[in-house]
Amino acid sequence: MRIGISDITYSERNLKGISIICQNIPLKDSIKLRSLIRKLLESQIMTSSQAVLRRYLNISEKIGVIEKIDSFIRLTGRGQVLRVLSKKNKRIGVGERIALLRSIVYSPAALQLMILLKYIKIYEELTEIIEHYFTDESIRKIWSIRTIRKNLRTFQKHGKLTSFLFNKLGCMLGWLSDLSLVNFQNHKKVRITKAGSTVLEWYENGASIDSFYRTVCNAYQIYIKEEYTWEQRDLLADLLKENFIKFKKRDMAYIDAILIFTCIDLLVNRGVLIEETVLYKVIGKIPYAQVIMSRDGKPKLLSFNFDSQMI
């Protein structure tokens, strides 16, 4: 069984392309896939290649920011947050970067990127990184062993990257760079950043959602002015209500959109640290809040009855 995201090339190395896709989908509605593709190709803001665009769409779906419903595409809760936080320029902003990281570390792409980050931390030299990464047991579950062996033999014999190695490695290094987890010393050497070491350590220790935003603060050196806890539940209930209105459609909103946006907005704009688990606990104590579960038993939607009494 294959894991990870295998269909990637150097052309999809910019995570900004995922943000652009989200920007071109209505915040609270769906769009026909055919219309979205035509719109993006005509604007040429990210690519003029339909094949590249379709791979970007596949990546976006795999990291959980969009979902396909028959011939339509709509944003998930994560995608709504990315749409709201991303700017219409080439630079990835702080809030946008955190939203992308939040999606990626809890997606099929996480394992292949964190293993790459681990080998970058150990070796730095691209030649050694390539040889150790593509012989890692977990990576051989993403791409076929036969393909990997063939390309590694060619690389070892001629010392030049094959198309396969160039595309896979180039794309993933681009993502890690956009997340500020690595930087390039030259065309033969890549180095893990302080942010990269912090995120890698968190991931290897279990990637707990309970400590994601504290990890983000340490990784991106965000100054924390204050930390909200259960003690600020009345204030947090009001914030959740505000953000519910921002994302709701027909009195329902994706619960992860509310939780993620509230955490990132407080952190980036106010220097306030709070974790999603604390916010979810607050929601559970709001008399007029109702959480609707998905078929797999996970919280999916949030509804507020504003006529009911506040906390």
- Output the pLDDT for position 1: 43
Q: Max alpha carbon distance in the chain (Å)?
A: 73
Count CB neighbours of 44 within 10 A.
Answer: 9
Question: How many whole angstroms separate alpha carbon 41 and alpha carbon 267?
Answer: 35
Q: Is 303 buried (19+), middle (13-18) or exposed (0-12) by CB count in 10 A?
A: middle
Average pLDDT, whole number, for the chain? 94
- Output the pLDDT for position 311: 42
Regions of the chain short of the pLDDT cut 70: 1-2, 306-311
Question: How many whole angstroms separate alpha carbon 78 and alpha carbon 100?
Answer: 9
Question: How many whole angstroms separate alpha carbon 251 and alpha carbon 255?
Answer: 12
Q: pTM of the predicted model, to two decimals?
A: 0.95
Tally the residues of the chain: 311
The fold of 226-304 is Arc Repressor Mutant, subunit A (1.10.10)
State the Cα torsion 209-211-212-217 to the nearest 10°: 170
